[in-house]
């Protein structure tokens, strides 16, 4: 276990405070977990905040915790409908999402989800999904035959663009292509409507003109719900296309994992927002 400032602040201040607040809160919220690779592959970055790999052992511990605490897993589409309704729900609910379409989802994550009776939503960068395995970020990705098999097994698939670019740097024509072509490709392969989208890279929430344009293009393309990398539990107050998520990786022991699920990590969104506000001024 690696000790970090955000972990210490979460476990010893923000989570205890949030648990008290939760006793009196009636706000409708659903935690949306964000995973990437489920493997023992090494990562170049050392700080836990940036890690995107979760070991199979830690992932199993996370799922075991959700199962033992009677969390009901929802697809993103199901959660979005509940959040939009604004009606309170009883019990614990969670959305388990995966970005980047790595093949270790098929080999490791999906069997673990089945083991605990849970489901998930996978976001595909369609340019890296082929009839034979392609590589993305040095890792093999799913093939379309595996995507179809997983879909039959109850996994929801959404778009993660075509080429996983920094959308904020693209002109309108290229941006529209990334949103629409990926959606059409998945729909043609699976024979159904794709309504979910995941924003690649850090979500530029302080760039209001861009996020407004992005929202319009997502709606134009037919997306109903979407997730970002903005940290926090998704709430009814969030726009359905820009829902917050909780990053998860190998550094999340059960105490930290529980704190994230219960809102103890949401304070970090303020830090994120301030950082995004200041950085453009430095450029």
Q: What is the pLDDT of residues 212-263, one digit of tens each?
A: 999 999 999 999 999 999 999 999 989 999 999 999 999 999 999 999 999 9
How many CB atoms neighbour CB 176 within 10 A?
Answer: 15
Handedness of CA 159, 165, 166, 172 (dihedral sign): negative
pLDDT at 282: 38
pLDDT at 46: 64
Any idea which residue has 């980047």 for tokens? 100
Structure tokens at 272: 């994120």
Structure tokens at 160: 């993660």
Question: Would you put residue 91 in left (φ > 0), alpha (ψ -120 to 50) or beta?
Answer: left
Average pLDDT score over residue span 133-156 = 97
Q: Beta strands of 232-279 (E only): which ranges?
A: 234-235, 243-247
pLDDT at 86: 85
pLDDT at 283 > cutoff 70: no
pLDDT at 141: 98
pLDDT at 2 > cutoff 60: no
pLDDT at 3 > cutoff 70: no
pLDDT at 281: 44
| 45 or 35, greater pLDDT | 35
Q: What is the pLDDT of residues 65-90, one digit of tens each?
A: 999 999 999 999 999 999 999 888 89
Domains and CATH numbers, the chain: 5-282 (3.20.20.370)
């Amino acid at each position: 276990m690696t000790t970090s400032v955000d972990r210490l602040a979460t476990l010893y201040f923000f989570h205890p405070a949030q648990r008290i607040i939760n006793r009196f809160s009636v706000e409708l919220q659903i935690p949306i977990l964000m995973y990437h690779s489920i493997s023992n592959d090494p990562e170049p970055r050392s700080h836990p905040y940036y890690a995107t790999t979760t070991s199979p052992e830690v992932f199993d511990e996370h799922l075991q915790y959700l199962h033992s605490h009677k969390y009901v897993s929802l697809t993103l589409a199901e959660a979005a409908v509940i959040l939009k309704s604004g009606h309170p729900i009883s019990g614990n609910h969670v959305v388990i999402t995966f970005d980047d379409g790595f093949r270790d989802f098929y080999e490791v994550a999906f069997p673990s989800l089945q083991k605990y009776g849970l489901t998930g939503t996978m976001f595909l960068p369609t340019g890296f999904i082929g009839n034979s395995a392609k590589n993305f970020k040095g890792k093999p990705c799913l093939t379309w035959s595996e995507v179809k098999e997983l879909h039959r097994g109850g996994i929801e698939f959404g778009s993660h663009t075509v080429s996983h670019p920094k959308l904020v740097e693209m002109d309108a024509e290229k941006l529209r292509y990334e949103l629409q072509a990926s959606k059409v490709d998945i729909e043609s392969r699976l024979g159904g409507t794709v309504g979910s989208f995941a924003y690649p890279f850090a979500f530029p929430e302080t760039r209001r003109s861009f996020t407004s344009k992005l929202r319009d293009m997502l709606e134009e393309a037919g997306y109903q719900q979407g997730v970002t990398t903005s940290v926090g539990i998704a709430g009814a107050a969030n726009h359905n296309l820009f829902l917050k998520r909780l990053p998860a990786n190998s550094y999340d022991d059960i105490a930290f994992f529980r704190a994230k699920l219960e809102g103890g990590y949401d304070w970090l969104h303020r830090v994120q927002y301030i950082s995004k506000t200041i950085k453009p001024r430095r450029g």
